[in-house]
Structure 1
Amino acid sequence: MDKGAESQGYSQQPEQQGYNKPPTYTGELPTAGPSYQHYEYPQQHYEYPQVVTQTGQHPQYGQNVHAAPLQPMVIQEPQDPPPSDYLALSIFTTILCFWPLGIAAIVFSVKTRNSFQRGEYEKARISSSNAKIFNIISIAVGIFLWVIVLIAQLAWIIPLAFLLSIVRN
């Protein structure tokens, strides 16, 4: 290192294997007035990655370093296809049949999907079965209620039509 750099306040750190640290500056700032004071810059600490070669030594510049091979990752695929969630049927029974049981069917349909995605295949199968049962019961109750409403309307319309025919005559 030359003396000109030392006289300006630069100090050269000793070189380490393969890595050069930047020079640090300690010295006085130029004085342009009474407000400037002597200031020492804080030392900067650099941490370099610790790489070790197969021989157990730190690598030199230009030496090839090989990373350890990655371990294979095993993903467990389900053996069976996902159980049916009956979501479309559940929405249909909620709108057109008996809505309280249709809502319960929607809840079980969503549980079927979530359980299958988490890998809980037995819970997914049970939720699928429950959604199917609630859909069937909702359809049956809905058909029964539609028939009752139709009979009630006919029971009201037929006597009314009979009365109207008597009044006209």
Structure 2
Amino acid sequence: MCKVKKSEKMEKSEDPPDPPMETYLLWSIFNLLCCCFPIGLVAVFYSCKATKSLGKGNREKAEDAALTAKKLNMAATVTGIFLLVLLLIFDGLGGMKIFAHS
């Protein structure tokens, strides 16, 4: 058997592993179900694309997809909050009855 000295093992320098990357999948699913379905659906697509790219070892492509998912999630969250505020305003004013002629 070939014995390797500890000093030889230490001499091998490996690149440190890349830090874990956020793909925003949970936020995308939340937006899909609760905030804005169309934007959330596209965000889920890009989050999955980022995960697949990471699995293939293409970190640059994964970062691009994750950044797109993050931007879409921000847009979906803002849109969902805006629509919720509008709903509460219209509900407080009697809904669509304010447009009805009496």
TM-score, normalization by structure 1: 0.46
Matches within 5 A, 1:1-150: 79-150=17-88
Higher helix share: 2
Counterpart for residue 154 of structure 1: 92
Alpha-carbon RMSD across the aligned residues, in angstroms, is: 2.1
What per-residue deviation string (whole Å, max 9, x for no partner) do you get for residues 6-51 of structure 1? xxxxxxxxxxxxxxxxxxxxxxxxxxxxxxxxxxxxxxxxxxxxxx
Shift of 1:146: 0.4
Larger radius of gyration: 1
Q: How many pairs align?
A: 84
- Structure 1 unaligned spans of 5+: 1-75, 161-169
| Shift >3 Å, 4+ stretches | 76-79
**Distance (Å, rounded) in 2 between the aligned partners of 1:124 and 1:130:** 10
Shift of 1:83: 1.7
Which structure would you say has the larger RCO, counting Cα contacts within 8 Å and 6 or more residues apart?
2
Amino acid at match of 2:57: G
- Structure 2 unaligned spans of 5+: 1-13
Amino acid at match of 2:22: S
Shift of 1:77: 7.2
Alpha carbons of 1:111 and 1:77: their partners in 2 closer, same or farther (altered >3 Å)?
farther
SS in 2 for 1:82: coil
TM-score, normalization by structure 2: 0.75
Identity of aligned residues (%): 36
Shift of 1:82: 3.3
Alpha carbons of 1:77 and 1:87: their partners in 2 closer, same or farther (altered >3 Å)?
farther
